Amino acid sequence: MPDEPSPRQPQQRQPVPRPEAPEARGPNWKIDPAPDGRGKPPQKPPMLPFSGRRFLIILAVGFLLNIALVQIFAPPEKRERIPYTPTFITQIKKGNVKEISSKGETVTGDFKNKLKGAQHFETEVPTFANTNQLAKLLEQQNVKVNAKPPQGRSFLQTLIFSFGPTLLIIGLLVFFLRRAAQQAGGGGMLGQFGRSKARRAEGGEDTRVNFNDVAGIDEAKDELSEIVDFLKRPEKYQKLGARIPRGVLLAGQPGTGKTLLAKAVAGEAAVPFFSISASEFIEAIVGIGASRVRDLFQQAKDAAPAIIFIDELDAIGRSRSGGGGFSSGGHDEREQTLNQILTEMDGFETGDGVVVLAATNRAEILDKALLRAGRFDRRVAVQAPDKVGRAKILAVHTRSVPLDPGVDLEALASSTPGMVGADLANVVNEAALIAAKREHSSVRQNDLTDALEKIVLGTERSVVQSEEDRRRIAYHEGGHAIVGMLTPGADPVRKVSIIPRGQALGVTMSAPDADVFNYEESYLRGKIKVALGGRVAEELTFGTITTGAESDIQQATQIARGMVGRWGMSEQVGFVAVESQNGNGPLLPGVSETSEATQRTVDAEVRRIIEEAHEEVRNLLERERERLDSLAQALLRDETLDEPDAYRAAGIDRVPAPA
């Protein structure tokens, strides 16, 4: 029989063969999974000569044995607790007390004859008792009073009580340390922190995502197609001296499909895909983030050709030139991690076959060192889809959903301007839930419509309202609708309802006939007028106002402030940007370089635009009061009016805008 290897000599790691090109792997190639994605780690001798399960059994037996020894060598002494008076004093006078021991105010002793079946007793001497009389009484009855203190524990008892639990705790600690070392692949507990947490996906035909699963962002797919071609046929580019971009930055608003697009690139190229969020690099221990970056890039190089995908890159890649550093060590840790990413990307060779994809929705705050040539030198904009793209996305998400033959996905796409892929997937899922709740065998058009309304407008609420409140809400929503129907360039009214949804007591839903990407001044003024229509209708009908126009006023103010401070639509302010880019409100004091006089001018112009719109809406509703009354009565009767019914109730012909 051959000699067994010494336990002190670990087995040598066998190199993992790597084909030169993906075609050599076959259609369904897979790599043997391992904790670090680079093959099996070398086997190390166990820290203890027995397995984990056997170790737990030994600990359990030791714990039970410790309890048994305590019961044997230090059995609990049962004593009957009696009152000082009259029982204790009476038994002394009767001569039934044999001996006593005292420790502090506690007195223990033995009866000559059992009292209520108890031989031993215990009592407490009150602080106000006359101990001199007690001592005379004990002396008269010849009660033995022990002079020495109670006997302490023996050496064996001390050993059991003191070291038994300690040994058990040490044993458990050794066990958990051993388990942590095994999970760390032999690197110890601290070694586990420095290992990358990236999730690895293989390029199997049966599980991978490809470009057929991505719709509505055709321009982004076209830009990434050459990445796929390079990973499949690198020699095609290398023989001409071409170098594929080392880093590709996917920039776009949340939900546009950046992560799905990165997976599709890996699926099309049939290469390993390492996915991680940028925040997973950071830990409380300084240096762990940089260690994880090194480990991630090493894994990718070992599995090359491969793709690394870093989601939410701005978590560690934000600009370092903005000042205002942090007082804690987290800022230093983030900067070290960013520097390590920059170093690793500089260390790529042309033939490494590793491409780094990153996603962010805040590309404007990224550090310039990340975006320079040689790193993330290609930027792919992942925009929100247009109407045609939304229809394609809906077709992708409904492939596994049984649809009724009457479902019109293009009509649904027309009603979802501004929605991205994640929103549309949510609409389809919500429609399937509604259809199941209604016991439908397939998803119908009204299920999709109701799902869209639930997501956009909110869930219907059961609120008990007085007739006066219902009438006020009907006129409020009717005012929005009439202004939207009669204002040139305003979005057509799609639905009006006085049923409470979400936080609103009523809703008026408007949407354009086609996607709008460039807003004219007249269109923006029209939106302000529609927002003010509800408040003006209340003023004309009831002569009083309520808090129901809060969101309308906020919307009108935000649009007017953007017109003045961002888009140069005010002659008084001119072509000067005085508002923050996100348009959430005026710049904070100390941040803006605009003078106080200019800010006062901005406020005056915003007020002027809103007041002009308010006056025009008042004139419009006074002139069309009959249409407002008719629409309000229809809402009180039916509560919800779709587009044709709303226009019919108002006596207005709906003329669709040309496509």
How deeply is 231 buried, as exposed, middle or buried, from its count of CB atoms within 10 A (0-12, 13-18, 19+)? buried
Question: Which string of b and e fits 127-156 if b means at least 16 CB within 10 Å?
Answer: eeeeeeebeeebeeeebeeeeeeeeeeeee
What the block records as the tokens of 558 is 């935000």
Q: What pLDDT is stored for residue 342 in this prediction?
A: 86
E runs forming strands in 117-213? 118-124, 144-145, 199-201
Distance CA 262, CA 248 (A): 10
584-625: pLDDT as tens digits: 444 434 445 678 888 889 999 999 999 999 999 999 999 999
Name 107's bridge partners.
102, 123
The rounded Cα 212 to chain-centroid distance in angstroms is 28
- Averaged pLDDT for residues 202-209: 57
Q: 394 CB contacts (<8 Å, ≥6 apart)?
A: 409, 412, 413, 424, 427, 428
Task: Give me the helices (H) in 383-466, please.
Answer: 387-397, 409-414, 421-437, 445-457
Give 431's pLDDT tier (boundaries 50, 70, 90): very high
Instruction: Answer whether 497's CB lies under 8 Å from 507's CB.
Output: yes
pLDDT on residue 588: 39
- How far is it, in rounded angstroms, from Cα 383 to Cα 617? 35
SS3 166: helix
CA distance 383 to 390: 12
Q: Are 445 and 240 in contact (CB under 8 A)?
A: no
pLDDT for 62 = 67
Nearest to 307 by CA among 149, 405, 388, 199: 199
- Give whole-number Cα distances, 27 to 38, 214, 464, in Å: 21, 21, 63
Mean pLDDT calculated for residue range 111-139: 81
Convert the pLDDT of each residue in 473-491 to its tens digit.
Answer: 999 999 999 999 999 888 8
Quick one: pLDDT at residue 149?
A: 52
137 — pLDDT class (breaks 50, 70, 90): confident
Distance CA 203, CA 312 (A): 23
Q: Give yes or no for residue 353 having a pLDDT over 80.
A: no
Active-site residues: which are they?
A: 477
Q: Note whether 438 and 477 are within 8 A (CB).
A: no
In which band, very low, low, confident or very high, does the pLDDT at 158 lie, cut at 50, 70 and 90? Answer: low
Q: Which residues contact 227 (CB under 8 A, 6 or more apart)?
A: 244, 245, 248, 265, 269, 355
Please give the structure tokens belonging to residue 531: 């927002």
Mean pLDDT of 640-652: 90
Average pLDDT taken over every residue of the chain = 77
Of 346, 226, 187, 204, the closest CA to residue 273 belongs to 204
Tokens of 181: 């070392």
What is the bridge-based pairing of β-strands 507-510 and 493-497? Answer: antiparallel
Three-class SS state of 221: helix
- Strand runs (DSSP E) across 320-405, as ranges? 354-360, 378-381
Amino acid present at 55: F
Residue 224, helix vs strand vs coil: helix
Alpha-carbon span 565 to 572, nearest angstrom: 11
Q: Which residues of 82-91 are buried (b: 16+ CB within 10 A; e: fewer)?
A: beeeeebbeb
Quick check: 278 and 286 in contact, CB under 8 A?
Answer: no
Ranked by mean pLDDT, the top range of 341-355, 361-375, 388-402 is 388-402
Instruction: Give whichever of 175-189, 363-377, 568-582 has the largest mean pLDDT.
Output: 363-377
Q: Is 392 exposed, middle or buried (0-12, 13-18, 19+ CB in 10 A)?
A: buried
**pLDDT bracket for residue 506 (50, 70, 90):** confident
C-alpha span between 208 and 656 (Å, rounded): 43
Strand-strand pairing, 306-311 and 273-277: parallel
pLDDT value at position 5? 42
Q: What is the pLDDT of residues 213-265, one digit of tens each?
A: 888 888 888 888 888 888 888 788 778 877 777 888 998 888 888 888 888 88
How far is it, in rounded angstroms, from Cα 40 to Cα 32?
Answer: 8
Which residues 6+ apart lie within 8 Å of 230 measured at CB?
236, 237, 244, 355
Please answer whether residues 314 and 365 qualify as being in contact, where contact means their C-beta atoms are separated by less than 8 angstroms: yes
Which pLDDT belongs to residue 288?
76
pLDDT at 374 over 60: yes
Highest-pLDDT range among 157-161, 188-192, 576-580:
576-580
- Confidence check: pLDDT of 9 > 80: no
Q: 509-567: per-residue pLDDT in tens?
A: 888 877 777 889 999 999 999 999 999 999 999 998 888 889 999 999 999 999 998 89
Quote the pLDDT of residue 55. Answer: 61
Which distant-in-sequence residues (6+ apart) come within 8 Å of 485 by Cβ? 492, 493, 646, 647, 650, 652, 654
Confirm if 334 and 289 have CB atoms less than 8 A apart: yes
Whole-structure pTM value: 0.62
Residue 83 is encoded by which pair of tokens?
């009152």
187 DSSP 8-state letter = S
